[in-house]
């Protein structure tokens, strides 16, 4: 887990990209951002590529030989793939600020910060032939397209699920209340010390989403657009949750260990952890509760100072291959950005996309960076910089 000092360092590293959004934290200023300038078609591959990604996103068969979408790419292009992982969007932004990265698989709560901070460059999709095969719901999504300019290639998407222990919950839980409210679970024991919460300020939106159903009188319409009064209620709920929480998780591997060895029985999670635990014969399942779910739609974005643009463009094209998309979805428990990947993939299976919620796109509240200027409240919403400082304080017990 990150120490308080590390959290402060991460926050300070976010100030520049957040400030670039404008004094009110509003729309990213892209007027001075140059148009995409991809490498010439005959430019030689540089022989190397560094990708910053979520754990489990870039596999070369080391964990399971069946899941490998790196080795063949390296053979075909001569570009050796180096992978760095990050456990939160804030960590990704901080690492992008440090440099030394070519590509990043950024979620919606980081992508526009990277655009605003000019840490990523426009991508010329005409140089990525397979872009035409991308799901139409994602091709011009606002978390990677600004003023008609594309800042990346869609990678995968999915919900933040409620993972639970089936031996404790003989009936699947139907509400996020099991991680937010003090209660006895179906085994007769309290949930205190047996639930987790996500280690990231964007988790405030999960609390707001729960309150949308539990307390409709608050008038929350969008969990990323909160008035000060609505925001204060979400913080109060999160402070209550703090008293119940075993750990704030951001490391997917550590969370699977907590469910295996530390007595944790319920938490927000990703399908990746669920799949990992089920594969090791743990009594684990997941649901999307009645209140709905937040989620992520990730984009492969090109660093503004990428040292290996030829290899980077080659990877962005490669990443959209139906087999790569399908294998990744099967491994991570996510949904492919290319619908064709749902057909004929041996690892994903004929019903894999349906089982993992391909048709639930419109039900997911996808992560995005909260800004002050918002549609829900003419007087303004609470911006992300405030979310960040307040959530760090809550995790620290304040």
Q: Residue ranges of the domains in the chain?
A: 4-158+295-366, 160-294+371-395
What is the per-residue pLDDT for 42?
Answer: 67
What is the per-residue pLDDT for 8?
Answer: 37
**Residues, the chain:** 398
What is the per-residue pLDDT for 45?
Answer: 82
Q: Are 116 and 144 contacting, i.e. CB atoms less than 8 angstroms apart?
A: no
Percent helix, percent strand, percent coil in the chain, to nearest 5: 40, 20, 40
The DSSP result for 122-143, as a single string, is ---GGG-GGGGGS-HHHHT-TT
Domains 4-158+295-366 and 160-294+371-395 equal at CATH topology level: yes
User: What is the CATH number assigned to the segment(s) 160-294+371-395?
Assistant: 3.40.190.10
Let me know if 349 is exposed, middle or buried by CB neighbors in 10 A (0-12, 13-18, 19+): middle
Share the mean pLDDT of the chain: 90
Query: Is the confidence at residue 13, as pLDDT, over 60?
Result: no
User: What is the CATH number assigned to the segment(s) 4-158+295-366?
Assistant: 3.40.190.10
Q: Element (H or E) spanning 214, and its range?
A: helix 204-214
What is the per-residue pLDDT for 363?
Answer: 86
Residue 44 banded pLDDT, cuts 50, 70, 90: confident
């Amino acid at each position: 887990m990150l120490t308080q000092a590390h959290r402060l360092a991460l926050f300070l590293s976010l100030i520049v990209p957040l400030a670039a959004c404008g004094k009110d934290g509003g729309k990213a200023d892209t007027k001075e951002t140059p148009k995409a300038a991809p490498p010439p078609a005959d430019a030689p591959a540089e022989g190397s590529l560094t990708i910053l990604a979520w754990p489990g996103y870039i596999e070369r068969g080391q964990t399971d030989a069946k899941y490998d979408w790196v080795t063949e790419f390296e053979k075909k292009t001569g570009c050796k793939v180096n992978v760095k992982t990050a456990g939160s969007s804030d960590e990704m932004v901080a690492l992008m600020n440090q440099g030394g990265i070519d590509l990043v698989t950024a979620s919606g709560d980081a992508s526009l910060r990277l655009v605003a901070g000019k840490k990523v460059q426009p991508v010329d999709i005409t140089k990525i032939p397979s872009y035409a095969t991308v799901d139409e719901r994602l091709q011009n999504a606002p978390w990677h397209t600004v003023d008609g300019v594309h800042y990346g290639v869609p990678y995968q998407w999915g919900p933040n699920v409620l993972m639970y222990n089936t031996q404790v919950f003989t009936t699947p839980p139907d509400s996020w209340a099991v991680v937010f409210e003090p209660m006895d679970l179906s085994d007769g024991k309290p949930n205190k010390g047996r639930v987790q919460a996500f280690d990231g300020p964007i988790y405030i939106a999960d609390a707001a989403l729960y309150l949308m159903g539990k307390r409709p009188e608050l008038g929350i319409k969008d969990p990323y657009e909160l008035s000060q009064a609505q925001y204060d209620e979400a913080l109060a709920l999160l402070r209550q949750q703090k008293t119940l929480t075993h750990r704030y998780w951001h490391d997917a591997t550590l969370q699977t260990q907590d469910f295996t060895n530390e007595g944790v029985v319920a938490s927000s999670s990703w399908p990746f952890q669920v799949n990992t635990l089920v594969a090791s014969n743990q009594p684990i399942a997941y649901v999307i509760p009645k209140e709905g779910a937040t989620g992520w739609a990730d984009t492969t974005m090109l660093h503004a100072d990428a040292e290996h643009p030829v290899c980077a463009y080659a990877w962005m094209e490669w990443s959209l291959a139906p087999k790569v998309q399908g294998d990744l979805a099967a491994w991570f428990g996510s949904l492919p950005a290319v619908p064709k990947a749902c057909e004929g993939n041996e690892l994903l299976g004929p019903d894999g996309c349906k089982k993992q919620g391909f048709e639930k796109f419109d039900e997911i509240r996808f992560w995005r960076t909260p800004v002050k200027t918002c549609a829900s409240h003419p007087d303004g919403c609470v911006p992300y910089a405030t979310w960040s400082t307040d959530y760090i304080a809550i995790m620290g017990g304040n």
